[in-house]
Structure 1
Amino acid sequence: MEKIIDIGKYIEIIVNWMTVNFKPFFDLIKNSGNAFIEGVEWLLLSIPFYIIIIALTALSFFKVNKSTAATTLLGLTLIYLLGFWQETMETLALIVVSTVTALIIAIPVGIWSAKNKMASKIIRPILDFMQTMPAFVYLIPAVLFFSIGKLPGAFATIIFAMPPAVRLTTLGIQQVPAEVVEAARAFGATKKQLLFKVELPLAINTILAGVNQTIMMALSMVVIAGMIAAGGLGEKVLEGINNLNIGLGFESGLAVVILAIILDRTTQALGKKK
C-alpha cells in the first residue's frame, strides 16, 4: 500500500540535519560520556573481585536479609567462576552510569509534572511514547549521533529507563496528604522547604520504587545495547545466539539474571527501610 503520510521521511531529515550540524556537540558528549563509563569500569575492575563480593554481601546482610546475602555471595562467586567477571563489571558500569543520568533528569521532571498541570499534560504522552516505542528503534539515532560503542548503548538505555522514575516521582509527590502540605504552609514553610523537608521525604518510598524500576529497565537493555558494541554480558549473549552456542548463551544469560536479582532485592529493601 502506498504511503499517504510519510512521517519517517521527515524524522530522517531532522536526524540527518542534526547529525551534520551538531557534530561537534555530539563528539563532545561522546568523548566525555565514554570517558565517564570507562572510568567507572576501570574503578570496578581495579578493585579485587573478592573485595566487591564481600562488600555487596555485607550490604545485603545488613540492609536486606540473610537469604539475599547468601544469594549475593553465591551468585557473584558463580559469575567469577564462570569467567564473566569482567563482562559483569562492564555491564554494571553501564547500568550505574545510565541509571544515575536517567535519575538526574527524571526526578526533576517528575517534580515539575507533579507541580504543574500543563507540564503534566505535555509530559504524560511523551512518556507513553518513550515506553511503548520498541527499544531497538532508539539504537538508530544513538548510532547516527555517536557511532557504535558504549555511549550509544547508554543513550538508548537512558531513554528507555527514564519513564518509570518520572511517573513514580510525580505519583509520590501527588500522594503527599494535602493536610500535611497545608500545615507546613501554615507554619511559614517556603516552596523550597515544603519540597525538600515535607514532600520529598514523604514521597521517598514511591521515588525509590521508581529508582528500582529504572535499574531493572536499564538491565533489560543489556542485550540490545550489546548489538552496537556496548560490551558487557549483552555481547556474550549475542555471541551465543549468533554462534548457536547454547552453553555460552545460557551461562551469560544466567549472569544477567544473578545481577538482576541482586540489584532488585537490594534497591527494594533500601526503599522499604526508608
Structure 2
Amino acid sequence: MDEFRIPIGEVADTVITWIVNNLNALFTVLRTIFDEMYGAIFAILDGPGWIVITILAALIALLARGWKFMLGTIIGLVVIVGVDQWENAMSSLSLVLVATFWALVISIPLGIWAAKSDTFSALVRPVLDFLQTMPAFVYLIPALLLFRVGVAPGIVATIIFAMAPGVRFTELGIRSVDAEVVEAGQAFGSSPSRILRQIQLPLALPTIMAGVNQVIMLSLSMVVIAGMVGAGGLGGDVIKSLNRLDTALGVEAGLAVVIIAMILDRLTNSFGQHSGLFAKFRARKPHVDSVPQDPVNV
C-alpha cells in the first residue's frame, strides 16, 4: 500500500502553471505598471540629488513632529550618504512606496467590507492568518514565475506579505467607532456612505494609520528578500554582503534600512500624535465629534 499523501503542492503547481500559460498577457501589463511606477518614483527621489531630498524631508519632519524629528531625519539621511548608500536607499524606498500604495488600495476597502459584514469578516480572517504566517520566501516562487526577475516580483511579494495589517486595522478602527454616534447619524437621515465618510473613517483614522504604519514596516522587512529576485537596492547589497561574507557592506546597507524604517515609522505615527505643526493645523479644524446636522442624503 502506497504511503498516504495529500498532493497540495502538486495542485498549487498545476494552478500556477495554468495561470502562467493562460494569463501571461495580464501579468505582462501588471509588470509594466509596477515597473513604470517604480521608475517614476525613483526618478523623483534620486533625480534632484540628496541635498534637495534631505531639505524636503527635513521640512516634512518639522511639520510632522517638530525640530527634534527634523534634526534626526537630517542626521540619518546624511549618514546614508556618508556610507555611499543613497542611490540604493532611494531604490528600496521607491519599491516600498509602490508596494505600500497597492497594499493599501487593496486592504482598506477589504477592511471596510469586513467591518460592514460579519460573514465576510469570518471568511477573510483565515486568509489573513495564512498571508501573515506563510514564510515570505514562498511568495517569491509564484512571483518569479509570473513576473520574471526584477523589481516587479519583489513588489508583488511585498504587497501580499504586507497587506494583512491594513485589513485588520481598518476593520478594527471602524468597528470601534461608538455605535451611538453612528445611530445618531442614521437618525438624522444620513446615508450609509455619508456615515462612512464623515463619521466612521474620520474617527477610525488613528487606528487605520496604525495599520498603514504596519504595512510600511512589513514592506521594509521585505526589502532584503526582494533583493534576491533582482530588485536591487539595499536588499541587493545585503545579499552581496552575505555571499561575500562582507561585514562592512552588510552593516552599511542594513543601517540604511534601519534609518529609513525609523523615519517612516515616526512620520506615520505623527498622524495620531498631538505634536508638530500638522497636529496644530488639524486642531484648528472642527473635530469629528458630532454627526452631520444636514439631513439631506448625499
* TM-score computed with the length of structure 1 as normaliser: 0.98
Q: Which moved more, 1:76-85 or 1:61-70?
A: 61-70
The match for 1:31 is 32
After superposition, the Cα gap between the structure-2 partners of 1:3 and 1:239, relative to the gap in structure 1 and judged at 3 Å, is farther
Aligned to 1:123: 124
Q: What's the counterpart of residue 170 of structure 2?
A: 169
Find the counterpart in structure 2 of residue 102 from structure 1. 103
Q: Indicate whether 1:143 and 2:154 are aligned.
A: no
- Which residue is 2:205 aligned to? 204
Q: Give me the whole-angstrom Cα distance separating, in 2, the residues matched to 1:56 and 1:3.
A: 59
CA distance in 2, matches of 1:235, 1:155: 17
Task: Find out whether 1:249 has 2:250 as its counterpart.
Answer: yes
Q: Highest Rg: 1 or 2? A: 2
Number of equivalenced pairs: 274
**Map of 1:114 onto structure 2:** 115
Name the structure 2 match of 1:57: 58
Shift of 1:111: 0.1
Aligned equivalents of 2:97, 2:254: Cα separation in 1: 19
Structure number having the greater helix percentage: 1
Report if the CA contact (8 A) 1:169-1:210 is conserved. Answer: yes
Structure 2, unaligned runs of 5 or more: 274-278, 283-298
- SS of residue in 2 equivalent to 1:148: coil
**Equivalent-residue separation in structure 2 for 1:32 and 1:187 (angstroms):** 44
Matched, 1:91 2:96: no
Q: Is the 8 A contact 1:212 1:268 kept in 2?
A: yes
In the alignment, the residues of structure 2 paired with residue 228 and residue 138 of structure 1 have an alpha-carbon distance, to the nearest angstrom, of 11
How many percent of aligned residue pairs carry the same amino acid?
45
Determine helix, strand or coil for the equivalent of 1:5: coil
Q: Deviations over 1:44-93 (max 9, x none)?
A: 11122111111111211221133222111011011112111110100110
- In structure 1, what is the equivalent of residue 276 of structure 2? none
Which is further off, 1-10 or 226-235? Answer: 1-10
Q: Distance in 1 between matches of 2:49 and 2:38?
A: 19
Runs of 4+, deviation exceeding 6 Å: none
Task: Name the counterpart of 1:75.
Answer: 76
- What amino acid sits opposite 2:27 in the alignment? F
Q: Distance in 2 between matches of 1:13 and 1:157?
A: 23
Counterpart of 2:42?
41
CA contact (8 A) 1:90 1:232 kept: yes
Looking at structure 2, the residues matched to 79 and 177 of structure 1 have their Cα atoms a distance apart, in angstroms, of 45
What are the superposed Cα offsets for residues 171-196 of structure 1, whole Å, 9 maximum, x if unpaired? 00000001000000001110110000
> Which deviates more, 258-267 or 57-66?
57-66
Residue 229 of structure 1 is matched in structure 2 by 230
How far apart are the structure 1 equivalents of 2:266 and 2:59? 14
1:199 and 1:31 map into 2 onto residues whose CA distance is 36
Shift in Å at residue 162 of structure 1?
Answer: 0.2
Partner of 2:163: helix, strand, or coil? Answer: helix
Quote the Cα distance in structure 2 between the aligned partners of 1:32 and 1:60. Answer: 30
Q: Is the 8 A contact 1:64 1:270 kept in 2?
A: no
RMSD: 1.2
Aligned to 1:134: 135
- Residues of 2 paired with 1:3 and 1:35: CA distance? 48
Please give the alpha-carbon distance, in whole angstroms, between the structure 2 residues aligned to 1:164 and 1:136.
19
Shift of 1:118: 0.8
Residue 190 of structure 2: SS of its match in structure 1? coil
Q: Is the 8 A contact 2:206 2:271 kept in 1?
A: no
For structure 1, the residue ranges without an aligned partner over 5 or more in a row are: none
Distance in 1 separating the partners of 2:75 and 2:35: 32
Q: Deviations over 1:223-264 (max 9, x none)?
A: 000000111100011111110001000111011111111110
